[in-house]
A = this chain, B = another copy of it.
Amino acid sequence: MNIGEASTASGVSSKMIRYYEQIGLIRAAARTESGYRVYSPTDVETLRFIRRARDLGFSVEEMGTLLALWQDKGRESADVKRVALQHVAEIEKRIHELEGMARTLRHLAGHCHGDDRPDCPILDDLAAVPEPSAKKRPARRPALQNGP
Instruction: Please list the residues of chain A having a beta carbon within 8 angstroms of any beta carbon in chain B.
Output: 45, 48-49, 52-53, 55-57, 66, 69-70, 72-78, 80-82, 84-85, 87-88, 91-92, 94-95, 98-99, 101-102, 104-106, 108-109, 112-120, 122-123, 125-130, 145-146
A53 to chain B, nearest CB (A): 6
**Minimum-distance CB pairs A-B, first 7:** A81-B114, A77-B120, A81-B112, A76-B116, A91-B102, A80-B120, A78-B114
A45 touches B76 (CB 8 A): no
A116 touches B66 (CB 8 A): no
A41 to chain B, nearest CB (A): 10
A101 touches B91 (CB 8 A): yes
- Smallest Cβ-Cβ distance to A45: which chain B residue: B127
- Given contacts A75-B118, A77-B117, A80-B120, list 10 more A-B pairs with CB under 8 A: A45-B127, A56-B104, A66-B126, A69-B123, A75-B120, A76-B116, A76-B117, A81-B112, A81-B114, A85-B109
Report the separation of the CA atoms of residues A52 and B99 in the bound assembly, to the nearest whole angstrom.
Answer: 16
Residues in B neighbouring A56, C-beta threshold 8 A: 101, 104-105, 126
